[in-house]
Structure 1
Amino acid sequence: MSALDERAALLSIGEFSRLTHVSVKALRHYHDLGLLSPARIDPGSGYRFYATAQAPTAQLIRRFRDLDMPLDRIKVVLEATDPTVRDEIIADHLRGMERQLEQTRSAVASLRQLLEGGGPHPLNVDFRTPAAGPALMASARVTWNEVFEWLPDTLTDLRRRIGSDTALRGGPDGAIYSAEIFESHVGEVTAFIPLSAAAGHIDHAGDPLPEGPMAVTVHNGPLRELDRTYAALGGFVAEQGMGSRTRTAIRENYLVSRFDTDNEHGLVTEVCWPVLSRRGEKES
């Protein structure tokens, strides 16, 4: 023990818990992780004893946990010898909290609008019948929560394959969501980048993009608000008698995506809902 430790009183884990407002269970966990080790462990009883000089460290950990910082990042902060590295880790975590706060504010605003009966903006629907065409594609069976990491990572890989030559593109990035992903929150999702005729030399895997008539509307703003646009467009299709009874996949085209802006309110997404070829047509 250092000279400072020798002058510090030793406390039982319970006493140290009361001193720092950190639970005994948490202190044991921090010890197991090597985050905050006792100043002394009795070799006979195994009892943990902490020095009063360790209280500021325990309080630091508690402050970081109040900010929802993961324990592994707290450990890096506490062990950092370079103040610049330490400060950047803290700053990065605070930036993440600010983003989360903004998302929470948006969610509260959306909730209030729903509770007050405020509907979405007037729905503008276009009808298109895209032809099947080549595309860079990648598919995976994922859970609902995994989509939000899998899709941008996969589109990044596809973008790397196509490079920066915009002449090779046949349209914006997009994704196709199976009916199962909505119904079971587990299912197939396909990320794609349409290819132009000039991209014939690019080796692409998978089937061509599906063809057939679609009802299309544009969603402006955060992706977490897409459910309202889905409800409006899906309701419109059903009310017009154009809906298919088959479990059709839904397509999204990302006209302005996270690759283009950091402002989630600047995102622009087309939602493409497969429909019957004629209004009111029924399946046999």
Structure 2
Amino acid sequence: MPVDQIPIGTFSRITHLSQKALRLYDERGLLAPAARDICTGYRYYTCPQVERGIRIRNLLWLGFGLSEVEAILEARERGDAATIREHFARRLAATEREAGRLHAIAEALRKQQQDPFNGGFSMSITEPVIKDIPAVRALSLRERGVYQEAIPRMIGELFGYVCPEGGRQPAARIAGPIMFICHDEEYRETDADIEVAIPITGSVNLEGTAAGVVTLPGGRFVSVLHTGPYPGVGKAYERLFGYMGERRLALAGPSRELYLNDPAEVPEEDLLTEVQFPVEDLPPSP
């Protein structure tokens, strides 16, 4: 064996990449061995490949997927700094969102220790009420994605249309709270059908954008007001479904969450979310 060839076991110890992982990277063309024993198929690497192996390990540790690692390394070979920065910016944003989620979980666990019966969240829910809600003209974005990532980003995009930068006066005015509309019949971790809307008055120029002006249907809705962190809003849904069961009401369309204050301006325990279900009467029992 030539002196500059490193057996896969040794290469694995140097780079802290398992042999199973190295075989996968070979199959993908991400880190192919420099030589292979004809009789045994045993893989051998070279000293210059150690740097690439360690770079792959570090990128994986930062949370990048293999496809992203491949794209970053290819961009590095091209000298494409802009693409590398774009990947790192997206990863940083995702990491900060996850850090915020973990911080909220830690706070909920601390509260759970203090009061084991409160479910981990400090919150309150009003008694459900039934109300007639008129149709609403709204600026809307609808796409598929992950709730935690898509909703904040879509809200920011919508506000960019009605609150333009540079002090320019918007043509449209906000006429109600921002809302999230769930079009799925079940909860989806990914590929959720998400709509975010802002009620508006006046005209707005949407040429070349994904947003549109829609009319959200009115009707009979059952509603509760939830006070507390957003992850605890599931209790509001539980209360609404219990109320609907008691009064023989059925869900008649997508549910809505209306965000009545700004999480950047109030503490989590003071966040106000109104949850609305469109309802209709169930037919009488036979």
- Please tell me the TM-score bracket, short chain as reference: 0.5 to 0.7
Q: 1:11 deviation in Å? A: 1.8
**TM-score (structure 1 length as normaliser):** 0.65
Whether the 8 Å CA contact 1:217–1:233 is kept in 2: the answer is no
For residues 87 and 202 of structure 1, what CA distance do their matches in structure 2 show? 29
Match of 1:4 in 2: none
Secondary structure of the 1:245 match is: strand
Residue 130 in structure 1 maps to residue 130 in structure 2? no
Of Structure 1 and Structure 2, the greater strand share is in: 2
The equivalent residue for 2:11 is 16
Distance 1:253 1:166, change over 3 A: farther
> Is the contact made by 1:138 and 1:206 (CA closer than 8 Å) also made in structure 2?
no
* Aligned match of 2:167: none
- Match of 2:98, SS state, is helix
User: Which of 20, 23, 27 is residue 22 of structure 2 equivalent to?
Assistant: 27
Compared CA separation, residues 90 and 55, structure 1 to 2 (3 A): same
TM-aligned CA distance change 1:131 to 1:194, over 3 Å? same
Q: CA deviation at 1:61?
A: 2.5
Question: 1:10 Cα deviation (Å)?
Answer: 0.8
Distance in structure 1 (CA, Å) of the matches to 2:93 and 2:206: 39
Q: 1:71 aligns to what?
A: 66
SS at match of 1:193: strand
Shift of 1:194: 2.0
Deviations 1:57-94 (A, max 9, x none): 42343243234322344442683658998688668645
Letter in 1 for 2:126: N
Once residues 192 and 60 of structure 2 are traced to their aligned partners in structure 1, the CA distance between those partners, rounded to angstroms, is 35
Q: Which amino acid aligns with 1:176?
A: I
Tell me which residue corresponds to 1:55. 50
* Contact 2:140-2:196 within 8 A present in 1 as well: yes
Cα pair 2:132 2:218 within 8 Å, conserved? no
What is the letter of the counterpart of residue 173 of structure 1?
I
Distance change in 2, residues 1:122/1:175 (3 Å): closer
Report if aligned partners of 1:174, 1:254 keep a CA contact under 8 Å in 2.
yes
2:98 paired residue number = 100
Contact 2:179 2:256 survives alignment (8 Å): yes
Q: Which residue of 1 aligns with 2:118?
A: 118
CA distance in 1 between counterparts of 2:22 and 2:253 reads 53
User: Which of 245, 249, 257 does residue 244 from structure 1 map onto?
Assistant: 249
- % identical aligned pairs: 24
Q: Which residue of 2 aligns with 1:3?
A: none
User: What are the superposed Cα offsets for residues 216-272 of structure 1, whole Å, 9 maximum, x if unpaired?
Assistant: 303443x3332133224544x358x44613455321113346xx7499948643212
Shift of 1:27: 1.6
Equivalent of 2:175 in 170, 195, 213: 170
Gaps of 5+ in 2: 165-169
What is aligned with 2:220? 212
| Contiguous gaps of at least 5 residues in structure 1 | 1-6
Measured at CA, do residues 54 and 136 of structure 1 come closer, stay the same or move farther in structure 2, by a change above 3 Å?
A: closer
Instruction: Describe the shift of the 1:166–1:255 C-alpha distance in structure 2 as closer, same or farther (beyond 3 A).
Output: farther
Give the paired residue count: 265
